Structure formats: C-alpha cells, structure tokens
Amino acid sequence: MNILRFITGCTLGAACFVNAHAGGGAGEPKGRLHGEVAAEVNYGRRLDGSGFNEWDFPHLTLSAGLDMGRGWTLTAEFEYERLREDGEWCNDHRANFATNKFYVNKQWSECLGMKLGIVDVPLGVTNAGGLALTIYDPLSEAALMPMTWHETGVSVGGTLAGGRADYTVAALAYGSLPLDDSRAVGMAYTTLFRSVGWRPVVDMRLGLGGFFGNTMRGMLRYSQPDIISAHTLSYGVADACYEHGGLTASGSFVYCTDGDVRSVGAEAGYDVLSASGGGRWGLVPFVRYDGVFHTGGGDINKFTAGLNVTLPYDFIVKAEYGRCARASETVNTLDVSVGYALAF
C-alpha cells in the first residue's frame, strides 16, 4: 500500500475534523475556499530537419486552499501533464498525474507555522514558485534537481524581521505499508531573504538553501535527473529574484555533490507595455542563459530568447527559440505555448 495515498486520506480526514471543530472567533472567516485552475498547450520542434516534435496536451494544474479558522488551512495542488514524444503519446495516468502539495498547515504566529502531509521542497527559483519566463522548467535547475519537488514529511517555517526574511526547515520521508519498508529521504532547509537588514535593492529576494539525503526513495528515486547515480547526495542552492516596474530578473546557482556537478542560470525580461499602463495586456521579450558543468557527457550551454504576451481574460501566449550546445552537438528548438488561468 502506497503511504502517499494513506497520508492523503489521513490529511483530508484531519482537515475535515479540524474544519468541523476549529470554529472561528468573532469576525473570523471560516471555510473559505480559493484557488486556480491553469491549462496550457505546448508545441516544440527541433530545427535540424529531423522532423522531431513534441506536444504537451493537456497540461492542467489545480491549486486550492481552504481557510478553516484559528490558524488552520488546507493546501492542495494537483497536476496532469500528457506528452507526445517520438511520435507516441504517454497515456500512463500514474506517470502523468502528480500530487504536488497536499498538507494541513497550522500557523501559530508569523514566526512559526507547521505543515504536515505532502509538502513542497522550495529549493531554487522554480521549486519556490518563482516566476519563470520560459515555457518549460529552466535547464540549470531541472538538470540537477526534481522539479515541483515534493515529499511526504513535516516542515516548520515562518517570517522574521517584520516580514523581511522567512525560513523553512523540513524533515522528509518516503513511506509504505508495512512500515518496515519505509525509509527517510533527508533534510531540506531554505532561508529566503528580501533583505538582510541592509536591503540590497527594493523588490529583490535573495535565497540560500540546501538538502542532504538519499536517492533510493521519493522523487530523487522516481523523478531523478539523469546525472544522479549516487545513493546519497547533498545540494547547495543560492538564488535571487527581482521584480519592479515591468522588469523581471532571476538567477540561481546549484551545486550537487554527486559528480561535483554545478549549474548557473539567469534570465531577464521587460514588459514594454508597463510604462504606458497596459493594464491587462503585457508584452515581455526576454533572454535566458543556462549552464551545467562537470557532467559526464560534457558541459551544457543553452541560450534562450523569447516573447511572452499576456492577453485579457488571463490568457498568455509564449514563443521562444533555444540553442543548446553540448560537446560537439548543437540543437536548435522552437517552442510555442498557449495558456489560460481561472481563479476561484
């Protein structure tokens, strides 16, 4: 019996119990449900005359939160992504569907809260929910770490210094029934800063994080990047994000002890309609660089240039050109995406 299903059932049961008995104080809202449904269709093609193309349809993400009063909330995120590669569709539901988040959170104060269930592992810009300008996950992070990284576990976190800094410490495990088949995955920690007293730049976030654990269970076993072969490893991650006045920029550095692999990635885009008060319209040209070094097959360097167009009613269209070089091989690609988000 998969412990994820067991944890999901227990978490949902606990949430229902808490919702029924927590109650709300005077004037305190209770039972508020909010969330978003996002859908997108992606198409990609290699420009080397091979005729290789890729479809991503449907790609659906459902995220929701339930405020149950007295500091109790329930958070869930489910994702379904179906790919067509090498002329064949992947119709394996278990491979296409993922529960990215499903946890009960108790918040005692701004400084201290606890999550229990299927929790996120917010290492790097993408896993921390940062704004990605590219259609797919950036290569510099996806080549070394699982994306939308989540594990069964418990995490503690909160904000400090009047909201200028926040932290997360998580104990992660992969379990199964009978319990003697369960194994610990590892420890993850992140510390995210908007400023450290000195406030380097307004609207900037600096982050430091790390992980230590084994690769025999959890997403490091079933969704691991190709470079991973060791039974235990550590990650060290540093990242930065900046959003102000139409400018969006981010960058990250990832180090993995397995093979002494490291990567860097950076992107920047500017909404040219922001100065004219475009409102619901947006036009963001962007560029990105990803580098992955010390891999067995040689270093990887990828350059991406693209355009994101935001339309009324929460539609977004993306188009990008990528040039990826590794050893003596260079691959040029063109990708197009159409997406829509509905909040409730």
- pLDDT tens per residue, the chain (344 residues)? 444 444 444 555 454 444 444 444 444 444 599 999 999 999 999 998 777 889 999 999 999 999 999 999 999 999 999 999 878 899 988 889 999 999 999 999 999 999 999 999 999 999 988 888 999 999 999 999 999 999 989 999 888 877 778 888 888 886 655 555 556 666 665 554 443 333 566 788 888 889 998 888 889 888 878 888 888 889 999 999 999 889 999 999 999 999 999 999 999 999 999 877 667 889 999 999 999 999 888 999 999 999 999 998 889 999 999 999 998 899 999 999 999 999 99
Query: What is residue 184's predicted lDDT score, i.e. its pLDDT?
Result: 66
Pairing type for strands 150-160 and 112-120 reads antiparallel
Global pTM value: 0.86
Letter for the amino acid at 206? Answer: L
Rounded Cα distance between 237 and 311, Å, is: 34
CA–CA distance, 226 with 328 (Å, rounded to integer):
19
Beta-carbon count within 10 A of 321 CB: 14
Q: List the one residue out of 103, 28, 123 whose CA is nearest residue 71.
A: 28
Q: What is the pLDDT of residue 181?
A: 55
Beta-carbon contacts of residue 239 (< 8 Å; ≥ 6 apart): 124, 125, 128, 130, 206, 207, 209, 250, 251, 252, 253
Whole-Å CA distances, 62 to 11, 34, 313? 18, 11, 18
Give the model's pLDDT for residue 52: 83
Looking at residue 154, what is its pLDDT? 92
Lookup: tokens for 191: 């510390």
Residue 47 Cα distances to 140, 159, 302, angstroms: 22, 47, 15
